[in-house]
Amino acid sequence: MPEDYHGGATFWSPKKVEEACDRQAQQDADKLLQQQQKEEEIQQRQIRKEAKAVMLEQRHQEASTAKQRRLELKEEKAAQREENWIARAADRQLKKDIKMAKKGKMPVQEPTLPPIGSAAGQAAGVDKQDAVEVTSVALPKATRTRKVQLPERYLA
In tens, the pLDDT along 22-75 reads 999 999 999 999 999 999 999 999 999 999 999 999 999 999 999 999 999 999
What's the whole-number average pLDDT of the chain? 82
Q: What is the pTM of this model?
A: 0.39
Looking at the domain assignment, is residue 28 inside a domain? yes
User: What's 115's DSSP letter?
Assistant: P
pLDDT of residue 64: 96
The number of folded domains in the chain is 1
Instruction: Kindly tell me the sign of the dihedral angle through the C-alpha atoms of 2, 4, 7, 9.
Output: negative
pLDDT of residue 104: 74
Q: Residue 63 belongs to what domain range?
A: 13-76
Looking at the domain assignment, is residue 85 inside a domain? no
Looking at the domain assignment, is residue 26 inside a domain? yes
Looking at the domain assignment, is residue 18 inside a domain? yes
